[in-house]
Amino acid sequence: VYPRLDAVTTVTEADARSFLANTPVPGLPVVGIPNSVPRPVVPPADGTSKVVVSAGRMHHIKRYDLLIRAFGMIADEFPDWQLRIYGDGGEAAKLRGLVTELGLTGRALLMGGFSPIESEWVKGSIAAVTSSAESFGMTLVEAMRCGLPVVSTDCPVGPREILRDGEDGLLVPTGDASAIASGLRLLMADGDLRRAMGEAALRNSARYDPDVVAARYVELFEDAARRRASADRDYRRPAAPRASGPERWTVPPVSMRAATVDVTTDEAGRLRFAVQGPHEDKHRWQFVLRHGTAGAAALPDMELPTVRTQQDNGGTLYSAELPASALDALGDGRWKVTMRSARSENVHMKAGIRDTRSLIDARARLVAWPTSAPIGWNLPYAQPNGKLMLRTVMRREHVECTSIDLHESGITVTGVLCGEREIRPGARFVVSRRGQHMVNHTVPVEVLSSRAFRVEVPVRYVVDHRLERWEDWDWWLQPYPDQWKKTRVCRVLEDFPDVKSAYPYPPVPLAGVEQSDYVMVHPARPVWVRPYCSVSGGMAMNVVDR
């Protein structure tokens, strides 16, 4: 078939050279034209966040095991940095085990699949690609277009054509965890270098813009047409563009059921929604938040003042803002983001871009300086079916878990208290068994400040007092020693919804050393105690004797 073609394209120049060397066809041009990556709709990263981001399918060829090991080599040097890996695949369970083995729980996070991904790229300051082979390297370009310098293995065949080593990223030897660690260390330690390389990445990656790539294809087609016309008299070349002026290329609006809503959070707690839909005509659409709970417990719908702007493509841009003060009405719960027409048709909207990077700094500030005011938190997220939801938190008093340290003899927890009350000397940490045999057990906390505490979780107590082979114990804080009122210890103030999967804490094995009054036969084998974050965000631990 090749001799009948006018041209062959490959996505890299290296592939073009390989084709010419291994599949030579006389007179057949072979041209390397890369894939295109459009400019992201989110503002680029600014190089200040202390997050390394990587994304792709969880496959052995991506060598995420090398990335996790490399990050582990320098984790102690940069205790305030975090690694986030996005993607799904068969390697996920093995990689979680490696994170646990290296003691990187809470530092190296497996975030699962995420789409669109650009809102997650911009949460980082460095992108990492550790593949053993890349046909092109789409993730490199995606990261660069978001303003991130890339530390990449110099694998065949794409990275060396995309990156300019030392200018917009770093190329390191393939398969070498130490070399990857050195590249990461160089950028993590130098904020000015990070920002300079990020600006260069943003500038250099413009060559992958769809307009630029499309122009190369037009040039290829015109050259092929000229060659064919010179070889075949009967060949009729395609007509030239009309000379009446530049054409305006527009994408017609989709139906509201197919449209996606983009959401942006800011540091003040506001949310901004935007969606492009069909021209409204007589059917005016409006943003409406609908409570996720059905039945008598459902709260009334909240209609958002919606601004409508006509677009050149014949559609309408609908935008709305949710102020932080609206949390008083939304309360603590989950809300569907819908559009309602003048005919009272409700459409649960699909999730588009969710730019929640401001929540990273918001959490850091709250942990560093806990407030006496009520806590409010707005988190947009996508359901597994792609529908857009809003998780709202509005609490007069809130205890946020800030770290969990697992060691041979137990579990150490630190946290902060927000709200009117402060942590008084003698404050207690409470573990509460769930179920019909509920019991509370308290231990004193170490008061770090009026709003911060540390405690050794009484794991020996829960092991020796278990009644079943599987039990769950919830965590609470009792700030005043002379008042029984307690507050649940949680981890909900994050920029992503699935905290439980992102923080898979390993179990602590404890063998019984004392005779238990509650267990008929005290086993010699270990009883496993594992802390976890529930779906609702409450911290707990399960005790397993199996």
> Would you say residue 273 lies in a domain?
yes
C-alpha pair distances (Å), 30 with each of 14, 26, 511: 11, 11, 68
Give the Cα separation of 267 and 529 in Å (integer). 37
Same domain? For 434 and 504 the reply is yes
Q: Is 418 inside any structural domain?
A: yes
E strands, 223-285, in order: 260-265, 271-277
Domain coverage including residue 280:
260-395
Kindly list the strands in the beta sheet with 350-355, ordered across the sheet, starting from the edge strand earlier in the chain. 306-310, 316-322, 271-277, 260-265, 350-355
CB 350 within 8 A of CB 388: yes
- Say how far residue 267 (Cα) sits from the centre of its chain: 18
> Could you tell me where the beta strands, DSSP code E, fall in 206-285?
260-265, 271-277
Contact 335, 292 (CB under 8 A): yes
CATH value at residue 363: 2.60.40.10
The answer to whether the beta carbons of residues 277 and 306 sit under 8 Å apart is no
- Asked if residue 277 and residue 353 are part of one domain, the reply reads yes
Judgement on whether residues 445 and 523 belong to the same structural domain of the protein: yes
244, part of any domain: no
CA 63, CA 128: separation in Å to the nearest integer?
A: 11
**Cα 30 from Cα 37, distance rounded (Å):** 22
Instruction: Let me know if residue 251 belongs to a domain.
Output: no
Quote the number of domains for the chain: 4
Amino acid at 36: S
Query: Which domain CATH number covers 126?
Result: 3.40.50.2000
- How far from 453 is each of 400, 425, 438, 493, CA to CA, in Å? 11, 10, 25, 18
The predicted model scores a pTM of: 0.92
Cα–Cα distance measured from residue 393 to residue 398, given in angstroms and rounded to the nearest whole number: 10
> What is the structure's pLDDT at 243?
60
Cα(476)–Cα(385) distance, rounded to whole angstroms? 34
Last residue of a domain, one of 353, 373, 395: 395
Same-domain pairing of 179 and 226: no
- Kind and range of the H or E run holding 98: helix 92-101
Q: How many CB atoms lie within 10 A of CB 201?
A: 28
Residue 510 is predicted with a pLDDT of 84
* SS3 per-residue string spanning 174-226: CCCHHHHHHHHHHHHCCHHHHHHHHHHHHHHHHHHCHHHHHHHHHHHHHHHHH
- The pLDDT tens digits along the chain (546 residues) read 888 899 999 999 999 999 999 988 988 999 999 999 999 999 999 999 999 999 999 999 999 999 999 999 999 999 999 999 999 998 999 999 999 999 999 999 999 999 999 999 999 999 999 999 998 999 999 999 999 999 999 999 899 999 999 999 999 999 999 999 999 999 999 999 999 999 999 999 999 999 999 999 999 999 999 998 888 888 888 877 666 555 656 778 889 999 999 999 998 889 999 999 887 766 689 999 999 877 768 899 999 999 999 988 889 999 999 999 999 999 999 999 999 998 888 999 999 999 999 999 999 999 999 999 999 999 999 999 999 999 999 999 999 999 999 988 899 999 999 999 999 999 999 999 999 999 999 999 999 999 999 999 999 999 988 888 899 999 999 999 999 999 999 999 999 999 999 999 999 988 755 555 665 554 557 889 999 999 999 999 999 986
State residue 312's pLDDT score.
86
- Say if residue 502 is in the same domain as residue 438: yes
Judgement on whether residues 56 and 203 belong to the same structural domain of the protein? yes
Co-location of 167 and 215 in the same domain: no
Q: Examine the domain organization and report whether 536 and 412 are in the same domain.
A: yes
Instruction: Name the E strands within 43-131.
Output: 51-55, 82-86, 108-112, 126-129
Minimal CA–CA distance to 493: which of 382, 348, 367?
Answer: 367
Domain end: 372, 395, 418, which one? 395
Do residues 518 and 419 share a domain? yes
In a domain, 128, yes or no: yes
Contact (CB, 8 A) for 278 and 310: no
Q: How confident is the model at residue 280, as a pLDDT?
A: 72
Specify whether 390 is located in the same domain as 526.
no
The pLDDT of residue 86: 97
Are residues 214 and 297 part of one domain? no
Question: Residue 505 has what pLDDT?
Answer: 93
What backbone torsions phi and psi does residue 159 show, to the nearest 5 degrees? Answer: -55, -40
Boundary (domain end) residue, out of 395, 430, 451: 395
Q: Which residue matches tokens 């060397």?
A: 21
Residue 517 counted as domain residue: yes
H or E element that contains 355: strand 350-355
User: Is residue 240 assigned to a domain?
Assistant: no
DSSP 399-457: EEEEEEEEETTEEEEEEEEESS--PPTT-EEEEEE-STT--EEEEEPEE-SSSEEEEE-
* Residue 242 forms part of a structural domain: no
Asked if residue 520 and residue 465 are part of one domain, the reply reads yes
